[in-house]
């Protein structure tokens, strides 16, 4: 099939490359000429395991372009995978989605299924279909399908090819037939992905309900962890005991300093906003958002309580990205923590194996603010970062940090004071240092 994909971020690019991998001819469209030039040279604009490898392996079926008119006019399927960032009120900003829809309407020259992979509020696909039919050339049949993604950054390629499920929301038999043809290779060996067909609104809700449930699990286990620490229980033992119950499961029960990334923060806010607007406020989601906001700073507050004044203190921050395996900084706990450290006049020494350049280029929250008291410097090794530090804050559980020799904290720091937001080290290995973690 001839497929066009609008947007070359985590969702769009991974989807396009995966569809080329299973035999479709795919054109990836983006407005950013520099990104397109990179991809035409076989370079992925995002850090994602195995993505560049698949780009090279399937290059004969992949085209990268800014020419949306050519890409859309004769496509059998057009997939919308652009961002839906949150607005100040928590609602989803659909400007990019509707821009693409207008481009599709002016370009289409044949019947087409338009697939919305972007996370959008319930009912949006109905509006998109009406917009496309009202503004496209007469005689062209346009069908809209909701096809939410369930990938995780760092494992996005695997999560797409070996997905837990493919959910397709349609209102037309023809659209259902085309979507089933599109994804049929993934339902067969070696992938064997379950395929679920639903109504469009159900598909839209499945995405929000799934993401927000996982965010709830994280916030819940973090609150239990905080209580465990007060009462002398060990959250890792508690989580293991909970996870053995098949009704609960062991996924998303790892305590830490909160979730970040491109999905959970904005999707919880968007669903809460939507529920409030419809007179059925989801109080559990509201609490989830509040818990996560507080959780990000739980160890920094402990550090402040221990050292009292951080002005002039050297604080090493290990890990900048919101999770290992990605260079994504969106809603990463490191941002809030470093921002406050700089406000308090600390000398921040930062390390991340992948995310430093992204942090420098995209996070300007304090670096250009004349009122900032503190300073920040970046290092390429953990040894350099922690040397002469008064304290260490661990923000991301990169393997380099998890496998780091704990004795070096005592050897290199002014005082071996480690605040571990990801529970990287077994407690029995930390007796030679001043060590604080989550829920233990």
Residues that are catalytic:
263
- Name the CA dihedral angle for 72, 73, 74, 78, rounded to a multiple of 10 degrees: 30
d(CA 389, CA 338): 15
Eight-class DSSP state of 92: B
Exposure on the CB side of residue 418, measured as CA atoms within 13 A: 32
* Structure tokens that stand for 12 in this block: 């769009």
**Bridge partner residues of 350 (DSSP):** 317, 378
d(CA 183, CA 166): 8
Using CA atoms, how far residue 204 sits from 118, 152, 159, 363, in Å, is 10, 18, 19, 31
d(CA 120, CA 108): 23
d(CA 175, CA 323): 37
End-to-end CA distance of the chain: 53
d(CA 419, CA 392): 6
At 115, which helix (H) or strand (E)?
A: strand 112-116
């Amino acid at each position: 099939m001839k497929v066009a994909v609008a947007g070359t971020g985590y969702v769009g690019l991974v989807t396009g490359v995966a569809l080329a991998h299973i035999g479709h001819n795919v054109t990836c469209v983006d407005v950013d000429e520099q990104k397109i030039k990179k991809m035409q040279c076989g370079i992925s604009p995002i850090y994602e395991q195995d993505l560049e490898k698949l780009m090279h392996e399937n290059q004969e079926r992949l085209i990268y372009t800014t020419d949306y008119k050519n890409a859309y006019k004769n496509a059998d399927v057009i997939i919308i995978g652009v961002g839906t960032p949150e607005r100040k009120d928590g609602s989803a900003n659909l400007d990019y989605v509707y821009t693409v829809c207008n481009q599709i309407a002016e370009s289409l020259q044949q019947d087409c299924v338009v697939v919305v992979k972007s996370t959008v509020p319930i009912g949006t696909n109905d509006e998109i279909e009406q917009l496309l039919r009202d503004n496209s050339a007469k005689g062209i049949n346009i069908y809209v399908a909701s096809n939410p993604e369930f990938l995780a950054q760092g494992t996005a390629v695997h999560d797409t090819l070996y997905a837990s499920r493919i959910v397709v929301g349609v209102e037309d038999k023809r659209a259902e037939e085309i979507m089933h043809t599109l994804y049929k290779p993934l339902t067969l060996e070696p992938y064997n992905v379950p395929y679920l067909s639903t109504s469009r609104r159900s598909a839209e809700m499945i995405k929000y309900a799934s993401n927000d449930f996982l965010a709830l699990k994280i916030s819940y286990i973090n609150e239990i962890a905080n209580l465990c620490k007060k009462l002398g229980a060990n959250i890792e033992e508690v989580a293991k005991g909970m996870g053995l119950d098949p009704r609960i499961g062991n996924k998303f029960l790892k305590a830490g300093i909160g979730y970040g990334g491109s999905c959970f923060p904005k999707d919880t806010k968007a669903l809460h906003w939507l529920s409030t607007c419809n007179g059925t406020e989801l109080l559990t989601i509201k609490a989830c958002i509040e818990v996560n906001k507080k959780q990000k700073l739980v160890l920094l507050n402990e550090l402040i309580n221990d050292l009292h004044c951080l002005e002039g203190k050297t604080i090493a921050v290990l890990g900048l990205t919101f999770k290992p395996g990605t260079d994504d900084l969106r809603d990463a706990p490191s941002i809030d923590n470093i921002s406050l450290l700089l406000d308090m006049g600390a000398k921040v020494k930062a390390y991340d194996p992948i995310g430093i350049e992204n942090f420098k280029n995209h996070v300007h929250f304090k670096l250009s603010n004349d009122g900032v008291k503190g300073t920040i410097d970046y290092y390429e090794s953990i040894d350099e970062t922690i040397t002469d530090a008064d304290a260490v804050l661990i923000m991301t559980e990169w393997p380099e940090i998890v496998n780091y020799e704990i004795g070096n904290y005592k050897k290199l720091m002014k005082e071996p004071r480690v605040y571990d937001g990801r529970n990287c080290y077994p407690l029995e290995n930390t007796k030679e240092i001043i060590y604080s973690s989550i829920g233990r």
